[in-house]
Amino acid sequence: MKMYKGILATLFSIFLLMGVAACQEKGTAEKAGEAIDDAAADMADKAEDAADEIKKKME
């Protein structure tokens, strides 16, 4: 039973350390992905604004 608890404690520690290691700074791919997302959102906002202006001019 003691061996079982020791193995569980070791596994728990390993998973805890892996979780902490996964929370590091953003990599270049994540930064690039966020930049693309931001650019797409800005483009969608500008397209919506342009559509609203066209609707106003047609009224």
**Overall number of domains in the chain:** 1
Is residue 59 classed as helix, strand or coil in its secondary structure? Answer: coil
Residues listed for the chain: 59
Q: Which two tokens stand for residue 20?
A: 């902490």
Q: What is the pLDDT of residues 1-59, one digit of tens each?
A: 667 777 888 888 887 777 666 666 777 888 899 999 999 999 999 998 999 899 888 87
* Alpha-carbon span 13 to 20, nearest angstrom: 11
Report the greatest alpha carbon distance in the chain.
80
Q: Flag whether the pTM goes above 0.75.
A: no
The range of the structural domain enclosing residue 39 comes to 2-58
* Alpha-carbon span 9 to 7, nearest angstrom: 5
